[in-house]
Amino acid sequence: MVTNDLAARWFDKLLIVGALAVMINGVIGWFSGGLPTLRPFTITVMLTSAVLIAVVMRTDDLAAPRIIASVVMAVSLAVIISPVIRDSAREIITIWCLIMIAAFAATLRVRFLDDLPLIAVLIIAGEALILAVRIPGLGVPNQQIVVGFLAFLAVAFPLGVIRERLYGRRLLAGIRSIPMARIIVGLLAYTFAVIAALNLLVAFPGNYWASAGLVAIVVLIGLILWQTTQLDSYRRLTGALLQAEMATPWPEGQAEAIMEQLVRDHVRVDSVTVQGAPGESGAISAEVADDKYLVARRRAGDQGFSREDADVVGGIAALGRATYIQATQRRHLELLANTDDLTGLWEYKYWLTVLSDTCSNRIPGESIAVIFFDLDYFKNINTNFGHIRADIALAALGKRLNNIPHWRFARFGGDEFVGFLASLDAKDQLETECAHIQQVASEPVLADGREIVLGVTIGRTISFDKDDNPRRMVAIAERDGRERKAARPTPDEGPSDTEMMQALLDGGLSVMYQPIVSLKTGEVHGYEALLRGNIPGKGAISPPDIVVAARNLGLLDTLTQRVAQTAVPAIEEVCRLTGRRLSVSINIETDQLTWDSEALEWLAHRAADSPARIVAEITERGETDWTAEQDELVTELNARGVHFALDDYGAGQSRLRAVARRRWYAVKMDRDFLTTDQTGLTMLRHNVAAMHELGQVVVLEGLEDADQLALAKSLGIDYGQGFLLGRPMTIENLLAHLPD
């Protein structure tokens, strides 16, 4: 039907103004004639009629509530405006209107203001009823009731028709359900029961017992009607939820459409949508998920939503919310099931499934590149750095690979990885992409305070045919990687221990210096001498590889002495320039703690008159327990001026006996304690407390960010070391950064 929204809105405003005029007229009557005297049956009729209107307005049919409300109000007003209180009829209308407004407000809290024009129609029609009842010549109350009823309908019905036509609706639309028919019959019967009760009261004046009994019967029947509508509302709500529940679990992609259809099936709406924000005032909005709401609307001028409507929409939204939560949990579990725990990359089988789907769905001529690569010399990394640090390096590599846009990577197994990229612009792009992956993978990884450099050899292939077998593509890329590795000039096994040590001792050794900083004052307390090696034509050699080679050749003391002879004089010069006594820490292995160690004898001889504190840091790589002989040797050297610190406490064999037996210059906590999980933090807290209780000074290694530094300070740790506080530097850089 054609609507005229502007005219409809102006007509509603005129109705509201007319209703206000009627109410103001009644209030004026209060001031001129005083408040009306209300008899018990009058109050009873008013209240029960208000209950009736509240009952019918709870129903969801469009026209029935309006018709029934009009009938009930007409008959009730006609009953009230009887010859007994005829003189105060004008004053009664105001009280009656207030009771009706309260009934509407209590029932239609969702869109009560939208129903003000309907209330205004009933109020204006009530004024017409009062005027008709006062027509001279009317006799018994039944005549007044009939005349008043007809006058009421003569005004209410045309005004209602005009409103419905302006809004494009049919007045009688919506009377459709069997429960609604039962309510109509019950309400009409109740209305005429009120009339019969009034006639009996008039027939037996002064019989208060009869009056009380009739009032009780009327109230009881009203309560029965109220419960009937309550049960109908519960039936509608449970029916909607049962239908929705039987359809669960909903497919995630269809959840919105299912919710919208369920609302349309059980609530009369003009529109229902799932949107990113709550609806406007007057609409029903129920949250389904974060930034997702189920919103039901009716057109302007339509009957407001009831609380039962809101309950139905809210119940359907709750089931939708459960569907979204289940879908999120299912995706999370699927991701966990198909993700490698260590690297965070996809499992190979899941990756292969995604690659197969991508190949099958690509457009003709679209290219897909597949790569296969492993880590160079990873066996040596496991041997020299330990499996824990090697795992840290793998985890860091996985995180870096996941951050490369457009690629999909998986861990094939061990130190082998695969990846694919769809829609390459040109074949040269694959070479550029592989070079970028090599660059990302080769960036140094800091694992427990030690730098690990990973190298990769990438095999590659590119496919343009959608029928290419994904497994065959992986096999081609793997073979290409093996061929590339075999063609490299440097053999996989690297230089021998003898060649390595000879080249290093011939000038390939260097020393870097990393500051150790007081966490209480922020001042540099000293420096740790870090070994570096570089062989011309071979490149950098990792410190663990150098130590292993020196141990195999029996050159540990020679290597340590060479480092000490470089580092101690350098830090002594820093002490003279700054006027401070700084520490210089030299790393030694546990098996160097012997009485005939030339390196330890050199340190003791130098410590006698050195301006620096010479500290020997004992690593925990040794498998033997702390012995009484070692303890005696350390006590002897300590008396000669060499301080001893326990390095990497917690990384290997936790030599608690060594910690408890003597007072160390410092106990250096390994970076393994700096984890984000609660267990690691608890271990760190308890170990620091134990060290302090034993009188030990604590140094925490591996401080890389402000959060770790704040944690260390909060735990009362004495000194810190790590990239945040200072990276390893050459002696030239160290001297250049000294204060003037």
- Nearest-angstrom CA–CA distance, 457 and 437: 10
- Nearest-angstrom CA–CA distance, 556 and 571: 22
Find where tokens 């290694």 sit.
Answer: 701
Residues 690 and 624 in one domain: yes
Domain membership flag for residue 346: no
Work out the pLDDT band at 93, boundaries 50, 70, 90.
Answer: low
Q: Among 486, 509, 527, identify where a domain stops.
A: 486
Domain membership flag for residue 493: no
Residue range(s) defining the domain that contains residue 275: 248-335
Residues 177 and 83 in one domain: yes
The single-letter code of the amino acid at 85 is I
Burial tier of 483 (Cβ tally within 10 Å: 0-12, 13-18, 19+): exposed
Residues 160 and 23 in one domain: yes
Q: Among 335, 358, 389, identify where a domain stops.
A: 335
Q: Which residues pair with 516 in a beta bridge?
A: 526
Closest to 370 (Cα-Cα) out of 485, 468, 459, 482? 459
Domain membership flag for residue 141: yes
Q: Give exposure, 491-518, as e/b (b: 16+ Cβ within 10 Å).
A: eeebbebeebbebbeeebbebbbbbbbe
- pLDDT of 523 reads 93
Residues 276 and 394 in one domain: no
Residues 328 and 469 in one domain: no
Q: How far is CA 85 from the centre of its chain?
A: 67
Domain membership flag for residue 321: yes
- Tens-place pLDDT, residues 229-280: 566 666 666 766 676 666 666 776 778 888 888 888 777 788 899 888 888 8
Q: By mean pLDDT, which of 271-280, 443-452, 681-690, 729-738 is the weakest?
A: 443-452
Domain membership flag for residue 453: yes
- Nearest-angstrom CA–CA distance, 274 and 296: 9
- The dihedral over CA atoms of 311, 314, 319, 320, expressed in degrees to the nearest 10, equals 150
Residues 481 and 625 in one domain: no
Residues 6+ apart with CB under 8 A from 49: 72, 73, 76, 99, 194
Residues 78 and 221 in one domain: yes
- Tens-place pLDDT, residues 569-601: 999 999 999 999 999 999 998 878 888 888 999
- Nearest-angstrom CA–CA distance, 580 and 574: 8
> Is pLDDT of 191 > 60?
no
Classify 457 as helix, strand or coil. strand
Domain membership flag for residue 352: no
Q: By 3-state DSSP, what share of the chain in percent is helix, strand and coil, each rounded to 5? A: 60, 15, 25
> Is pLDDT of 489 > 90?
no
Residues 518 and 470 in one domain: no
- pLDDT of 663 reads 87
- Nearest-angstrom CA–CA distance, 408 and 347: 11
User: Any long-range contacts for 331-338 (C-beta under 8 Å, 24+ apart)?
Assistant: none
Residues 209 and 316 in one domain: no
Residues 688 and 728 in one domain: yes
- Nearest-angstrom CA–CA distance, 357 and 601: 68
Find where tokens 């003791």 sit.
Answer: 604
Distances (CA, A) of 431 to 114, 427, 484: 68, 7, 14
Residue 677, phi-psi category: left (phi > 0), alpha (psi -120 to 50), beta (remainder)? beta
Q: Among 433, 461, 486, identify where a domain stops.
A: 486
Closest to 310 (Cα-Cα) out of 111, 37, 578? 111
- Tens-place pLDDT, residues 45-60: 666 666 666 555 555 4
- pTM of the full structure: 0.39
Residue 516, phi-psi category: left (phi > 0), alpha (psi -120 to 50), beta (remainder)? beta
Residues 256 and 383 in one domain: no
The single-letter code of the amino acid at 80 is I
18, 192 contact by CB (below 8 A): no
Domain of 576, CATH number, reads: 3.20.20.450
214, 285 contact by CB (below 8 A): no
Considering just the CA atoms, what is the radius of gyration of the chain in Å?
45
569, 548 contact by CB (below 8 A): no
Residues 124 and 98 in one domain: yes
Domain membership flag for residue 421: yes
- pLDDT of 576 reads 93
> Is pLDDT of 457 > 70?
yes
Count the Cβ atoms, other than its own, within 10 Å of residue 238. 13
Q: Which residue has the higher pLDDT, 540 or 315?
A: 315
Distances (CA, A) of 604 to 78, 571, 635, 666: 118, 16, 12, 18
> Is pLDDT of 533 > 80?
yes
Domain membership flag for residue 344: no
- Tens-place pLDDT, residues 276-333: 888 887 788 888 888 889 999 877 656 667 777 788 888 888 888 888 888 777 777 7
State how beta strands 346-347 and 524-535 pair.
unpaired
Number of residues written out for the chain: 740
- pLDDT of 582 reads 94
- pLDDT of 135 reads 66
Q: How many domains does the chain have?
A: 4
- pLDDT of 704 reads 86
